[in-house]
Amino acid sequence: MEKEAFVTIRKKLSRTQKQLGELLGVSLKAIHSYEQGWRKIPLHIERQLWFLMYQKKNNAKKNIIPCWERKFCEFKEDCPAFEFRCGEMCWFVCGTKCDCTRNIDVREKMEICRKCKILKILLR
């Protein structure tokens, strides 16, 4: 995640730097470092931000099409996103079987998820 995206999400969540630090369980100094680009934003922080954005939007919009329907997935039967019925949160679940994220590590998966329409709908 780039520092600009971090700041944008913080603003969409209507949080000050201090409030976001408390929400994420990190120090105010860490938030400053992420926003200034002095420190790389860890994947677990990025995923938590996406989760918070999802939760905020999900309260307003319940009719989200799950990933396996949106992508016509042929691997859904073996996928944890399908098993746990969290197809709108496939980006949050490790071990998904999506054709574009099968058999790759978490860092590569996150890079692909950043460009995926499932997550982009959430971040609009």
User: 17-73: per-residue pLDDT in tens?
Assistant: 999 998 888 999 999 999 999 999 999 999 889 888 877 776 555 677 888 998 898
Residue 35: predicted pLDDT: 97
Q: Hey, what domains does the chain have and what are their CATH numbers?
A: 1-61 (1.10.260.40), 64-124 (no CATH)
Task: Please answer whether residues 81 and 87 qualify as being in contact, where contact means their C-beta atoms are separated by less than 8 angstroms.
Answer: yes
Q: Above pLDDT 70, what percent of the chain?
A: 96
- Report angle CA 86, 116, 11 to the nearest 5 degrees: 85
Cα separation of 19 and 27, whole Å? 10
